[in-house]
Structure 1
Amino acid sequence: MEPIQVIGGGLAGTEAAWQIASAGVPVIFWEMRPKRFSPAHHTEHLAELVCSNSFGAMSSDRAAGLLHEELRQLNSIVISKADEHAVPAGGALAVDRGQFSQDLTETLAKHPLIDFRRGEVSAIPEGIVVLATGPLTSPDLAEDLRRFSGMEYLSFFDAASPIVVGESINRDIAFMASRYDKGEAAYLNCPMNKEQYLRFWEELRKAEQTELKDFERETAKFFEACLPIEEQAKRGEDTMRYGPVKPVGLSDSRTGERPYGVVQLRQEDKAGQLWNMVGFQTNLRWGEQKRVFQLIPGLENAEFVRLGVMHRNTFINAPQLMSASLQFKQRPTLLAAGQLIGTEGYTAASAGGWLAGTNAARLALGKEALTLPNTTMMGALFDFISSASPKHFQPMPPNFGIIPVLGEKVKSKPERYGRYRDRSLADLASWKANQL
């Protein structure tokens, strides 16, 4: 049997390679690092989490949490390892990113059917192939894909938040709590009064950003769910207070008062040595980041192990090119997954890897490719990216707005989302019993 080639060692590629090998089909699994690094990666490990260590809300009545649970039911290697290497994060599934990616690297490298190769692939190979090269596909392969599809890429900009050394955070000011006291108190909260907030807001608006290249400036389009903090500040005095600096549901137990604004930090590692500034993705110059972010009470002496970075992401026009099985319409033996096809978020990338890998293996075994019920979060997401308007297509994260409505109107949002969950998991169980 000819091996399937999987290109790209991110979350999607890692999941795809594992699912193919688990089906008894040999895989040649390509990752260009460490021979060549993308602008956003720092290690050579598979499934490196470059923006945040959080996979989103754990509760299955939330969109991300439902996607987690669907992937657990389908034996996802990524979610299995995420559960294994989870760190406290309130109601979110967050991982020790170093242990998580190192474990996945070692696990896949040991599989007897996975031929793990380090090197850059510059053209789409023949045969059955899964493209999972992500939003920073290398230029040669990107150009070959452009020629193959006959279309230009769409692009937007994505940014990563700074990471702070835990010992440098002033615990006399920062306090531990989760919003509305949900789950374990897993966030460090830096409170600001009005005067402190306004000073921070003013300095953030004036801070110097890294300049974009001419071609980037012409095509730049920020993804709203990952908007740089300085861009939020420019939208108005209170924009951040309705976003990442919102004080709602947080009170300092030492004073009993709710702050005017709160900057939250989420634990990055199991030891609690590193903390991520939640929602503070940024394109500020590094010197400006230190100057402005140290104005936040509790971070006046902050040590940064990683400052924020911003990079260009690219994705194909999936509605015009792909089917809900994640096959290219003009070449069904070519499949793709991850941010390259316009899904947003770690869990969505893993879900795409699961389906692309599963279908690639089925093609190799002489079986028909599968699509998932659109009443599941996975099925709804892939139905959306294959059927949206090509003219206005933009990346889509998992959300309940893309799932078909219930048979009856339910006014209560928690109850409605709970019913979406129940229907999804029931339909997935039935589909799994009949299709897999």
Structure 2
Amino acid sequence: MTKTLHIIGGGMAGSEAAWQAANAGVPVVIHEMRPKVETFAHRTGNLAEMVCSNSFRSDDDEQNAVGLLHWEMRAADGLIMATADKHKLPAGGALAVDRDPFAQSVTEALLDHPLISVSYEEIAELPTDGHWIIATGPLTSGTLGEAIAAETGADALAFFDAIAPIVYADSINMDVAWRQSRYDKGDTEEEQKAYLNCPMTKDQYEAFIDALLTSDKTEFHEGETAKYFDGCLPIEVMADRGRETLRFGPMKPVGLTNPHAPDDKPYAVVQLRRDNALGTLYNIVGFQTKMKYGAQTSVFKMIPGLEDANFARLGGIHRNTFINSPTLLDDQMRLKSKPHIRFAGQITGVEGYVESAAMGLLAGRMAAAEILGTTLSEVPQTTAMGALIKHITGGAEAKTFQPMNVNFGLFPPVEGLKGGRRGRKDRYKAYTDRAKLDWADWLA
């Protein structure tokens, strides 16, 4: 009789792990505490709910490492990528999705699978036997987090993760804002106009920075030592690092022309990306924040075009826990002290929806193979999947381990290619060509 795989957590990683294992013929039970136990960030009881951005980032599988990861997951019949493609929204060269239908579709696909069931309950202790994957993500419950910390003999590492606000489209002043993707990127006119842009003069930008720096912000409890993840910094933290930081980050004015004043070059630009298929909601790109709600409404309404903005959701910040995977996990993603337990997703120290789902994909396949009496061969480090799993299971320096997005710096160099910015395009293409061949071979 085939043994059952139990997965704690129904987010990106848990959902993908369940799909992969069930498609290999292994019965799966997903243990999800929502909606019985709520979290700060979630709004529904759906599986794979997106709580921060609605973007899977670049879909370029020849020049971008996360785009390559998209390609690898599609080649492996990944549920998350297939569903994202089904609910894709215009976003220039990025893959953005309509978040609520996306999560609903993932939930329906999993519940419709004959080998998958969902048990809505909180798991508070580490299981003592069986086959388990812990994929509880950034909002692992306090009781389970304490159990993990007790088992590993060390406090869980942590960083702060922030959420950007969402604006109702009909409250945006289109006499000021305009539609354009940066550098008109996209294959269709809809893609080339996927973003709304709000321009700022130098005086408006300086006043905005002043307001950011002096605004009321969420204070953390004494002794809170978690760090921010550099890929998701609150805008106030960026502004505090230098008044021009935002102009070289989410507010950079390059690649855009304001049709309302084509001869006037904006000093800074705030971009908004469509958040749902109806086009009624837009999120403010890169505007994760720890400002208190009252401060957010007043500060964000200083942005030209958002003077009368109505917010469907304000920004927020929460603690995000992850384990020191390089010291705790083996190359099969198993907890060394309890090898019947695997970890997957953001709790392993990868950052981003796609990276989390990718580690779920691998964990699900590895667990299924073990249950069926085999062992998967090592994932080539030349692939995006292999580069990520190598990083978290021994490639990273344990003493300074921090969450990591997939990037070409994790890949072994391609022999015969020289470095430098001039050769970067050829180098990235060589990375992706090699990865696709090696990933196809591994899947086969």
Bigger Cα displacement from structure 2, 220-229 vs 283-292: 220-229
Q: Which residue of 1 aligns with 2:212?
A: 204
> Could you say which residue in structure 2 is the equivalent of 1:297?
304
- Give the secondary-structure state (helix, strand or coil) at the position aligned to 1:5: strand
Asked if 1 retains the 8 angstrom alpha-carbon contact of 2:176 and 2:260, the reply is: no
CA RMSD, Structure 1 to Structure 2 (Å): 1.1
CA contact (8 A) 1:333 1:360 kept: no
- Residue aligned with 2:3, SS: coil
Matches for 1:347-366 after TM superposition, within 5 Å: 347-366=354-373
Q: Deviations over 1:11-62 (max 9, x none)?
A: 0000001111111111111100011012211110000110000001011121
Measure the CA separation in 1 of the matches of 2:308 and 2:223.
37
Partner of 1:135: 138
Identify which range, 173-182 or 312-321, moves more after superposition: 173-182
Deviation at 1:282, TM superposition (A): 0.3
- Out of 166, 173, 179, which is 1:170 matched to? 173
Partner of 1:65: 67
Indicate the residue corresponding to 2:111 in structure 1.
109
Q: CA deviation at 1:250?
A: 1.4
Query: What letter is aligned with 1:62?
Result: N
Residues 177-188 of structure 1 mapped to structure 2, 5 A cutoff? 177-183=180-186, 184=191, 185-188=193-196
Q: Map 1:35-184 onto structure 2 (within 5 A).
A: 35-60=36-61, 61-125=63-127, 126-183=129-186, 184=191
Given that 1:324 and 1:385 are in contact with CA atoms closer than 8 Å, whether structure 2 keeps it comes out as no
The alpha carbon displacement at 1:331 in A equals 2.8
Task: Tell me the distance in 1 between the aligned counterparts of 2:385 and 2:257.
Answer: 37
TM-score (norm 1): 0.97
State whether structure 2 residue 442 is matched by structure 1 residue 431: yes
Q: What CA distance in whole angstroms lies between the structure 2 residues aligned with 1:363 and 1:213? A: 43
| Residue 239 of structure 2, aligned match among 222, 226, 233 | 233
> In the alignment, which of 232, 252, 256 is matched to residue 250 of structure 1?
256
**Aligned AA (1:188):** L
2:416 paired residue number: 408
Shift of 1:254: 3.5
Can you list the C-alpha shifts for 1:57-76, whole angstroms capped at 9, x where unaligned?
A: 01112111110001001110
Per the alignment, do residues 323 and 18 of structure 1 end up closer, same or farther by CA in structure 2, a change over 3 Å counting?
Answer: same
CA distance in 2 between counterparts of 1:275 and 1:2 reads 45
Letter in 2 for 1:143: E
1:330 and 1:258 map into 2 onto residues whose CA distance is 59
Measure the CA separation in 1 of the matches of 2:265 and 2:185. Answer: 16
Percent identical pairs in the alignment equals 50
Is this contact kept in 2: 1:8–1:32, CA < 8 A? yes
Give how far 1:107 is off: 1.2
Match of 2:385 in 1: 378
Residue ranges of structure 1 left out of the alignment (5+ in a row): none
- Aligned-residue offset at 1:150: 1.6
Normalising by structure 2, report the TM-score. Answer: 0.95
User: CA–CA distance in 2 between the matches of 1:225 and 1:324?
Assistant: 26
User: Which residue does the alignment assign to 1:190?
Assistant: 198
Residues 157 and 226, structure 2, Cα contact 8 Å, conserved in 1: no
